[in-house]
Amino acid sequence: MTLTQLRYLVALADHRHFGKAADSCAISQPTLSAQLRKLEQELSATLIERGTSIGLTPIGEAVVARARGILSESDEIISIARRGEEPLAGPRRIGIIPTVCPYLLPWALPALKAAFPRLDLICREAMTHEVLHAIRARELDWGIIAEDPVDPALSALALFREPFFAALPHGHALAVEAKITQAHLNNEKMLVLSEGHCLRDQALSLFTAGTRGGDDIRATSLETLRGLVTAGHGLTLIPAMARRESDSGLELRPLDPPASRSLYLVSRRTDPRREEAKAFAKTLRDTAPEVVLPL
């Protein structure tokens, strides 16, 4: 049994497709299939359910769960060995929540590449609970979320605060206001994201629940909310990084009193690469756009 075979098995578990798993490992499908057959022979166990759809047997699921930890430890050993040569060299797997990912990556990736030329950042967009679960399971190294996790197994580094703005349709009566108060929001139909998004809970905390509207829409992205507001279906809150210099059809106004969310870089508390996480977080703080504020 080799680390390479375990990587192939984990890739198959992630993709549930031999061709896609092989592509992710940069090998041919016959090579991947042959290595996984060899692994099953060495273990004297059937790990994969082969049929019209690909799945794992109960033994296969148990092996994959342990393999993820082994592979993570292996990557950390390599990182420790390289640390003396160059910080943040090699692959790092990071999960970012959907209301942050598309607005953070355009400026963060060039900044990180300039600071750490050999960093290979592998990004996954996922909900907060999915990011935290993947970090605990060693499927991800780090995560960027909009809350400080209360978990003794995890550690969080503060990044910055991101102010909220009220988004109004063009020509709305409140557009004459320089700032939007909670009283204003309580008298309007407010659109929020579907359940599971932390931004939904943060938005609901700023106005009376009884004024919420659009529950039948089940919006899953800020872009959907932006379109609904533009079409006159209500108001919503937009985080600062999601603002656009030219936002046709929308009027954005600051809140009074100001409201914001805090972003954190989360990792396992036992991760030996704590200094690398600190350097990563510092680069994000130092290069963040002016629209965000220090924590």
Count how many Cα atoms sit within 13 Å of the Cα of residue 117 in the half-sphere of its side chain: 2
The DSSP element (H or E) to which 161 belongs, if any, is strand 154-169
| Helices (H) then strands (E): counts for the chain | 10, 12
pLDDT at 84 over 70: no
Q: How far apart are CA 102 and CA 117, in angstroms?
A: 22
Q: Residue-wise over 33-51: b if at least 16 C-beta within 10 A, else e?
A: bebbeebbeeeeeebbeee
pLDDT at 133 over 60: yes
Model pLDDT for residues 134-189, shown as the tens digit of each residue: 998 888 999 999 999 988 889 999 999 999 999 999 889 998 999 999 888 888 88
CB atoms within 10 A of CB 274: 14
Give residue 116's pLDDT band: very low, low, confident or very high (50, 70, 90). very high
User: What does the pLDDT read at residue 249?
Assistant: 78
| Residue 20 DSSP symbol | H
pTM of the entire predicted model? 0.74
User: What does the pLDDT read at residue 210?
Assistant: 44
Domains of the chain: 1-85 (1.10.10.10), 161-261 (3.40.190.10)
